[in-house]
Each structure stands twice: as C-alpha cells, then as structure tokens.
Structure 1
Amino acid sequence: MVMLGDVFPNFSAKTTIGDIKFHEWLGDSWGILFSHPADFTPVCTTELAKLINLHPEFTKRNTKIIALSCDPVAKHLKWCNDIKGYSGDTFPYPIIADEDKELAVELQMLDADEKDSNGLPLTARAVFIVDPNKKMRLSILYPATTGRNFE
C-alpha cells in the first residue's frame, strides 16, 4: 500500500504513447494519475475530453496527466479518436493499458462491491498526485459508479 509521502511505484506500463517507466516519464514534473473502469463509457469519455481542454492549465503548472483503464492499447487508441470528437484534434496525454489489472491491484484500486459482467471487481476511480520527488501527495479512491467534475 502506498501511503501519503511514500515514493510512488515506478511501474512499467504499455500506453497510447508506447511503453513507459513511470518515474522516467514523469521527469521533474508533478503528475496526476487517474483511473477509469472501462473505455467508451459515457462518463469516462466526457471526463477525458474535459481534461484535454484543461491540459494547458496543467502544463502551465508543470503537471503531467496520465490516465488508466483496464482495456488494451488498441482499444484506447480508438477511444482517443472518439474523445477527440468532443474536444478537438489532439490527445495530449497517455492512457495506460492495465488489461490484467496488475497496476490496479498494486495501487489497491479494485472495488469489491462493483463487478463487471464476468463478476470480477471493477477498477475503482482513483486520483493520485505525485510530486517531482516521486512522492505521493494525494490519493482519492471512490466507486466506479461515481463520476468526477474536473471544474
């Protein structure tokens, strides 16, 4: 379990921009990692579109954004094209593919009360803020059925 002030895991992941190691990708920036239960869901799609619009504000604050969903990269790339229909021509941040839910388990983001069609726990919605020293400064975890307002 990652506690406030702990060094955030330096996980490896497949993403829509290729393979990354989290600490190297983050560099000397702040980071916000947020998770979604699945691609193409209406709430997740509008949240990601809103973050595209807010991306310049995060950039001004030396903050990188990265999303996570438990679908494969190929599906994420199709989803990105769908999302761009709401927000413009670019998709300025990566989405992590966590098909086996390995990262969701490591970061304790599974919701035992919310199940998918196969009866498996959904990835809960989570937000992690990581500082430039790679330490976790904020953690929010809430049910997959609860949306977010990025305003």
Structure 2
Amino acid sequence: RTSCRQRQVLKMPGLLLGDEFPDFEAETTVGRIKLHTFLGDSWGILFSHPRDFTPVCTTELGRAARLSSEFTKRNVKIIALSIDSVEDHHCWTKDILAYNCEESSCISLPFPIIADSKRDLAVALGMLDPDEKDKDGLPLTARCVFVISPDKKLKLSILYPATTGRNFDEILRVVDSLQLTAGRQVATPADWQPGECVMVPPALMEQEAASMFPAGVYTKNLPSGKKYLRYTPPPKYNTNH
C-alpha cells in the first residue's frame, strides 16, 4: 500500500526530464516490487501498453523479449505495464512467447509486467490516451517509454499513441546516446549510431575543446561563418557492450 507521501509524489502534474522518477510499489508477474529497489544501480526502462491480448502490444513485448540480452549488455532493466490483472498477464505471456517462437525453451518473459487494473499508475504518470477508448468508453493507456538513469532521474520520455507500435532499435540507440553523453560535454547528432563521431557543444571554447578532445575537433565551414558544427571521435565510455 502506498504511503501518503508516495501518493502525493504520484499525483505530480507531469514528469519532466531530470525529475526523480516516483518510487511506486506495484503487483507484477514476479510478485510485488518497489521500482527503485527493482532497478538497483541499473538504468531502467518502463514501457506501458493499452491492454493485454492486443495485437500491437503482443508484437512489442515479443520484440522486447528478443532484445533482452542487448538491454542486459547496457546494464538496463526493463519493466512493462498494462492495465489488466497479473492473472491476465500470465495468460497473455503464453501468447507473447508463441509469437516469438515455438520452442519449448521459451518458457518465460525476461522482464516483469506491472498490473494496473485500476489505472492508478497510468493516470499518475500521464499515460492515458484520450483518443483511444475501450468498450466501456474508458481511455486506453498510451505507449509510453520512460528511460531512468541509475540515480533514478527521468532521462528520456517518448509518448506514442495506442495505434502506433514502438521501434525498439531506436530505444536501444537512445540508451547508447544517453550513456555515452552522461557526464561528458558531447552530444549526438541526428541519426547517430554507436561508433560515429559526436558533436562538441557551442558553449565549449575552442581552446578548451582542443584540450578536452585530444583525438581532434573538426569544424564544418558554413555560409554564416559561425563555427558551431564541431565533431570529434566518440570518447570511450564504460559499458559492457
């Protein structure tokens, strides 16, 4: 049962980047969890689903399961949320696994699913999609993605409508970007992929940038004459992949 203080936190009007992510408790397919304890020192991804036994959600959880080793390499724990019961989640899991493969070795999902049958978390975390409703006229949960850093801060949020499935390759890519740029004065450009050059922020003076990036800083000449498009080889960072 959540405390009064937890309920106050969960009723915050909206999560902003850099906010501490609420430390809620919930029933899941692996038992009752407290989010911060579940995540420990890992990065975390919480992604929500409109409901169980729906086609797009089934493909998404199947894709997340297939990519579980990639998330593990990046020290990321993932946890799903749907507005049905734990019992329904367990039954739905069999369909998800059947979608992925027919092998008997596929016996469980590598991540828990939160039961939110009263929609308390969906409402508190701003997950509802007002344009998509169930048979009773209640809003469905949108497809939210929250990326949480080891210090329990919200680092990225993506909100998809219920009608659009997520791209989990893109989620892995943004995790790579977040982990690479964390605590470093670099940014990743459009369509960046791991191993490609990163960008040096304009606020960093030229002499300071040259000292900070011994591999070299390369500036693209622009009609404006302003030297703000600066690139450098990606710094090494501590990951397991």
Give TM-score scaled by structure 2 length: 0.61
Asked if 1 retains the 8 angstrom alpha-carbon contact of 2:160 and 2:166, the reply is: no
1:96 pairs with 2:114: yes
What amino acid sits opposite 1:144 in the alignment?
A
**Which residue of the partner structure matches residue 11 of structure 1?**
24
Amino acid at match of 1:67: A
Q: Does 1:44 align with 2:57?
A: yes
Higher relative strand content: 1
| Corresponding residue of 1:110 | 128
Listed one character per residue, the Cα deviations across residues 8-34 of structure 1 (whole Å, up to 9, x for unaligned) are: 000111000000000000000000000
The match for 1:67 is 80
* Equivalent residue number for residue 26 of structure 1: 39
Write the distance in 2 (CA, Å) between the matches of 1:140 and 1:68: 15
Residue matched to 1:141: 159
Helix, strand or coil for the counterpart of 1:33? strand
Unaligned runs of 5+ in 1: none
C-alpha root-mean-square deviation of aligned residues, in Å?
0.9
* Counterpart amino acid of residue 78 in structure 2: I
**How far, CA to CA, are the matches of 1:97 and 1:85 in structure 2?**
21
User: Which stretches in structure 2 are left out of the alignment for 5+ residues?
Assistant: 1-13, 101-105, 170-241
Moved over 2 A (4+): 86-90
Q: Cα deviation per residue 1:95-143 (whole Å; 9 max; x = unaligned)?
A: 0000000001110111112111111111111000000000000011121
Post-superposition offset of 1:146: 1.2
Bigger-Rg structure (1/2): 2
Greater CA deviation, 40-49 or 78-87? 78-87
Higher relative contact order (CA 8 A, sep 6+): 1
Counterparts of 1:2 and 1:17 in 2: how far apart (Å)?
26
Give the CA deviation at 1:150.
1.9
